[in-house]
């Protein structure tokens, strides 16, 4: 035998016809292999384990799982995929496919620093999103005709319920999976006790995901926002697009000074609601509302007709307790403020209702007037509602609301892989069709003036207390009269569904589960109804230190008291409503007399009063808006994903595997210094534990896949060389 002949011992030849539901996942895997992304991902995603599977093994299973459809969970998928496990693993350059339990342990060993080191890269570069997001069909044009990228930042919540855990001497100590994983927080309309938040950044024009972070409770606030700002900067850098023309849209949750300051200092253009409604009480703002020119806001025609105008540049000053995480105070910042209005009866959904009109304030950071006129800015902000629809689509198609791991890093990795599959579907769908047509800026268009008359704002729609009118009808003891009315309520019936709430007949007051007394605050009118909603509030001092706080209500703000709503008969509720102004006035008089009798407090530094007007420069006439209509992206990501899924319905994939059998080392011989000294394995050695042995060969036959982009891009029969181990593996398509 000549010396240049290499003898490779292999196992039996295995031919596997993969089912249709694996077609998309296998095709995406081969596509990543072809571009060299799979090898890079294997090297970059690290996991600190003593042995066994590594990060790329988790990505392999999750990629195939998310591509298989939402019909089953990961355990059912792993059981069905195990039939073809060796072939699927070989396509990823691995010896075997992890089981569901192995994946659970692997995700549980993930560390957040390793996952976040590759998160943005997976969504942007690895998926190929950077190759299509710069197309004009996925961009917006401002009033000057210049191109902008618009990105949406928002949080979605996964809420969990804590079942009762019995305790006893014969039972082990109770331990919940959610400990250290989920925390209480604001749940909205979802039911549960603890939650996990996922902060995501999405490219509005293309529907591509750019960043995602998972945190317990309400999230980590500014840290995730800083990550989203960095991701938007990375988008601009990779596309060669001006950084100052990437606009971020945010929910009103980020309308406070800390978030606005972060956006302002980072040079990130952004639009969000402003939470400084006290501006509406300032005389110069009221004059501007009465005399300024309002322009109709472009909309879909499904809601109220809004109009908007520029209010001016407002200097936002931090409050006394508003501090940075390191304890230093925030500096005042200047933001452009836009105000919108529309007729409304009743209470305000957002903003404030004044004299039959609902007014809302919006903060615009680094958004010049000439590019974004007031009416177009408001229309652009409400366009972020489309992301809510995409959250619903993502939930239907990927089921990312489920829990994949009770380790936050493992949960975040699973979400990243799912969102990468979403991006791959869009990129593949674009490649399947003919090239997208280029777009031009919108034609010249004059804004429409809103000539609906608006009276000068005189104050809030909330009823104010007239002391003179109240005193003429004040009972001898308003609090006593109020207690007598409350004693007429059938509290046994009213509290039948409220555990631990009780009526104290001796003190004639309603007590919360902690035994603290509550007071009636107000009654909501409901004309013609048999019952009316009555609000009872617990003392703030009691709620701050209450041990039952976490299970009583969702707010984490220390200055939020518990407010309970009880539906009382209209006759009793109306009598309470008549007595409340007198009780409020008597309480104010008592507190005032108590404050006057108290000894003077020592001098302390003066702080800015809550009612102090904000500095505002209303003169915005120096800069004229652009003359074009703002034109937003025309690309439809949902049809692109659908086209991508349809492309794999008639694809038949056959995998032929011949796996080499490596010659084992003698158990008594340490062939390397590392083995003799029992050194820790390097990252490359850990990756090689389950790598496909050298000398193995894998052949792939794809029937009916001539339109798949990764097949069209091949040269001859050879698709790509295997990238995991430097072996003789080849992928072929026919």
For the chain, which residues make up each domain, given as ranges?
14-109+637-732, 124-164+179-447, 467-597
Q: What is the pLDDT of residue 171?
A: 85
Question: Above 70 in pLDDT, residue 148?
Answer: yes
Q: What is the pLDDT of residue 346?
A: 77
Q: Enumerate the β-bridge partners of residue 721.
A: 730
- Asked if residues 535 and 562 have their Cβ atoms less than 8 Å apart, the reply is no
Q: Are strands 147-160 and 246-250 parallel, antiparallel or unpaired?
A: parallel
- Give the 3-state secondary structure of 530-589: CEEEEEEECCHHHHHCCCCHHHHCCCCCCCCCCEEEEEEEHHHHHHHHHHHHHHHHHHHH
Write the burial class of residue 193 (CB in 10 Å: 0-12 exposed, 13-18 middle, 19+ buried): middle
Per-residue model confidence as pLDDT tens digits over 506-529: 888 898 888 889 888 888 876 667
Least confident of 170-184, 323-337, 363-377, 672-686: 672-686
Residue percentage of the chain with pLDDT more than 90: 34
Question: Cα separation of 84 and 71, whole Å?
Answer: 19
**Residue 272 phi, psi (nearest 5):** -155, 170
Least confident of 140-144, 359-363, 388-392, 670-674: 670-674
Question: Above 60 in pLDDT, residue 720?
Answer: no
Q: Enumerate the β-bridge partners of residue 16.
A: 655
- Asked if residues 436 and 339 have their Cβ atoms less than 8 Å apart, the reply is no
Q: What is the pLDDT of residue 371?
A: 92
Tell me which residue of 79, 71, 83, 63 sits closest to 18, measured CA to CA. 83
- Give the 3-state secondary structure of 656-724: EEECECCCCCCCCCCCCHHHHCCCCCCHHHHHHCCECCCCCEEEEEEECCCCCHHHHCCECCEEEECCC
- The position carrying tokens 């296998």 is 26
Least confident of 417-421, 615-619, 710-714: 710-714
Tell me which residue of 686, 477, 505, 675 sits closest to 590, measured CA to CA. 477
Tell me which residue of 231, 251, 74 sits closest to 157, measured CA to CA. 251
**Average pLDDT, stretch 89-103?**
91
124-164+179-447 to CATH, choices 3.90.350, 2.40.50, 3.30.70, 1.10.287 = 3.90.350
- φ/ψ region of 192 (left if φ > 0, alpha if ψ in -120 to 50, else beta) reads left
Residues in the chain: 734
Question: Above 50 in pLDDT, residue 731?
Answer: no
Q: Are strands 519-524 and 531-537 parallel, antiparallel or unpaired?
A: antiparallel
Q: What is the pLDDT of residue 393?
A: 86
**Average pLDDT, stretch 358-363?**
94
Question: Strand runs (DSSP E) across 10-65, as ranges?
Answer: 14-18
Per-residue model confidence as pLDDT tens digits over 591-635: 777 766 777 666 554 545 445 666 777 654 555 677 788 989 999
Per-residue model confidence as pLDDT tens digits over 176-201: 888 888 888 776 667 778 889 999 99
Per-residue model confidence as pLDDT tens digits over 541-598: 778 778 787 778 767 677 778 888 888 888 888 888 888 888 888 877 777 777 667 7
């Amino acid at each position: 035998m000549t010396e240049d002949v290499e003898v490779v011992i292999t196992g039996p030849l295995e031919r596997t016809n993969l089912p249709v539901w694996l077609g998309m996942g296998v095709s995406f895997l081969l596509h990543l292999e072809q571009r060299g992304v799979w090898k890079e991902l294997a090297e970059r995603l690290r996991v600190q384990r003593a042995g066994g599977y590594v990060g790329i093994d988790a990505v392999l299973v999750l990629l195939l799982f998310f591509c298989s459809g939402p019909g089953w969970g990961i355990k059912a998928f792993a059981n069905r995929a195990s039939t073809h496990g060796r072939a699927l693993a070989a396509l990823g350059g691995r010896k075997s496919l992890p089981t569901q339990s192995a994946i659970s342990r692997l995700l549980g060993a993930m560390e957040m620093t390793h996952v976040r080191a590759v998160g943005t890269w997976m969504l942007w570069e690895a998926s190929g999103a950077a190759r299509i997001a710069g197309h004009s069909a996925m961009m917006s044009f401002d009033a000057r005709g210049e191109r902008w990228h618009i990105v949406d930042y928002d949080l979605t919540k996964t809420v969990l319920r804590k079942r009762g855990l019995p305790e006893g001497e014969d039972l082990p100590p109770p331990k919940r999976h959610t400990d250290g994983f989920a925390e209480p927080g604001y749940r909205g309309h979802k039911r549960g006790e603890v939650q996990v938040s996922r902060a995501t950044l999405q490219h509005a024009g293309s529907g591509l995901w750019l960043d995602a972070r998972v945190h317990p409770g309400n999230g980590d606030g500014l840290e995730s926002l800083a990550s989203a700002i960095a991701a938007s900067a990375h988008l601009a850098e990779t596309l060669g697009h001006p950084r100052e023309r990437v606009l971020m849209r945010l929910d009103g949750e980020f309308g406070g000074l800390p978030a606005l300051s972060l956006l302002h200092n980072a040079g990130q253009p952004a639009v969000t609601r402003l939470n400084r409604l006290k501006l509406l009480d300032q005389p110069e703002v009221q004059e501007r509302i009465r005399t300024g020119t309002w322009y109709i806001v472009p909309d879909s025609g499904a809601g109220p007709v809004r109009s908007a105008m520029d209010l001016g540049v407002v200097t936002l000053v931090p409050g006394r307790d508003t501090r940075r995480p390191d304890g230093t105070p925030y500096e005042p910042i200047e933001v452009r403020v836009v105000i919108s209005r529309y007729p409304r009866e009743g209470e305000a959904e957002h903003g404030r209702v004044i004299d039959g009109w609902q007014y809302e304030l919006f903060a615009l950071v680094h958004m010049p007037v000439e590019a974004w006129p007031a009416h177009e800015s408001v229309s652009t902000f409400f366009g972020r509602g489309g992301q809510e629809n995409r959250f619903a689509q993502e939930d239907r198609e990927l089921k990312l609301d489920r829990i994949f791991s009770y380790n936050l890093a493992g949960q975040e990795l699973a979400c990243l892989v799912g969102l990468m599959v979403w991006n791959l579907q869009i990129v593949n769908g674009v490649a399947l069709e003919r090239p997208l047509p280029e777009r031009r800026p919108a034609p010249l268009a004059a804004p429409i003036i809103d000539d609906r008359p608006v009276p000068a704002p005189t104050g809030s729609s909330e009823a104010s207390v007239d002391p003179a009118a109240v005193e003429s009808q004040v009972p001898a003891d308003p609090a006593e009269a109020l207690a007598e009315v409350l004693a007429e309520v059938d509290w046994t019936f009213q509290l039948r569904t409220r555990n631990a709430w009780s009526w104290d007949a001796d003190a004639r007051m309603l007590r919360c589960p902690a035994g603290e007394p509550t007071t009636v605050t107000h009654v909501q009118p409901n004309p013609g109804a048999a019952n009316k909603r009555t609000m009872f509030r617990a003392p703030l001092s009691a709620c701050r230190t209450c041990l039952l706080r976490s299970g009583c209500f969702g707010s984490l703000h220390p200055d939020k008291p518990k407010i309970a709503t009880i539906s009382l008969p209209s006759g009793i509720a109306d009598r309470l409503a008549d007595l409340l102004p007198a009780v409020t006035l008597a309480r104010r008089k008592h507190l005032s007399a108590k404050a006057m009798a108290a000894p003077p407090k020592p001098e302390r530094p003066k702080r800015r009063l809550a009612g102090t007007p904000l500095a505002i420069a209303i003169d915005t006439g120096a800069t004229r808006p652009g003359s074009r209509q703002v034109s937003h992206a025309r690309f439809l990501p949902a049809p692109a994903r659908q086209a991508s899924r349809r492309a794999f319905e008639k694809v038949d994939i056959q995998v032929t595997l011949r796996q080499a059998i490596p010659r084992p080392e003698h158990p008594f011989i340490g062939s390397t210094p590392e083995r003799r000294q029992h050194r820790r394995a390097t990252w490359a050695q850990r990756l090689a534990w389950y790598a496909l042995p050298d000398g193995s060969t894998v052949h792939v036959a794809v029937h009916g896949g001539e339109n798949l982009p990764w097949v069209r891009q091949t040269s001859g029969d050879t698709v790509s060389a295997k990238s995991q181990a430097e072996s003789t593996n080849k992928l072929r398509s026919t």
